[in-house]
Amino acid sequence: MKIMIAYDGSRNAKLALAQVVNMFRCNQPLLVLVGVVENPLDATDNNEALFQQEYDEVKQHLQEGVAFATGEGFQAEQLLAEGDARKMLLQATRKLAPDLLVIARHSHQPDGGIIAKSLTYFVDELDYMTFGSVSSFLARRAECPLLILPSP
């Protein structure tokens, strides 16, 4: 069994990895952690430096995620892609044909107040309607089962 996990080192991605480890421990699947770095919009030195910084950070997060998974007794690999996260994750599923793709739902943690929660909900809905999201994009296009883990 092969499980692909969209992994960027964020709090939600780390929680998703931990949940996958707990849920699938008895199956001992191969875990493939996929990180995506967006290409710079232009080729200026400043953008190239920012891109390289993001690339290094995502690579480090992937290495930490793989180390966590192997420490839990799993076989784990990493894949680092460059481009639009939605398209790169979709392309990775087509290339690697995982039995399951796992992604964590993105969230902006509100401060806990009702106004902040309402505003966050409104912004999330507006973002979904206007730009779409990685999870909704993959839910419509992925050719493998997709598990979207909620953020606590």
Residue with tokens 């902006």: 108
pLDDT at 125: 56
pLDDT at 118: 56
pLDDT at 132: 45
β-bridge partners, 33? 5, 78
pLDDT digits (tens, 9 = 90+) for 112-151: 455 555 555 555 555 554 444 888 889 889 999 999 988 7
pLDDT digits (tens, 9 = 90+) for 41-99: 666 667 778 888 899 999 999 999 999 999 999 999 999 999 999 999 999 999 999 99
* Spatial contact of 150 and 109, defined as CB atoms under 8 Å apart: no
Token digits for 132? 């779409």
Q: Which of 3, 72, 75, 80 is nearest to 37 (CA)?
A: 80
pLDDT at 130: 41
Please state the φ and ψ torsions of residue 67, each to the nearest 5 degrees. Answer: -60, -40
9 torsion bin: left (phi>0), alpha (psi -120 to 50), beta (else): left
- Characterize 12-41 residue by residue with b for buried, 16 or more Cβ atoms within 10 angstroms of its Cβ, and e for exposed: bbbebbebbbeebeeeebbbbbbbbbeebe
Question: How far is residue 117's CA from residue 119's CA, in Å, rounded to a whole number?
Answer: 5
What pTM, to 2 d.p., does this model score? Answer: 0.80
Residue 4, pLDDT > 80, answer: yes
Question: How far is residue 93's CA from residue 90's CA, in Å, rounded to a whole number?
Answer: 5
Report all structural domains of the chain as residue ranges with CATH numbers, in order of start: 2-149 (3.40.50.620)
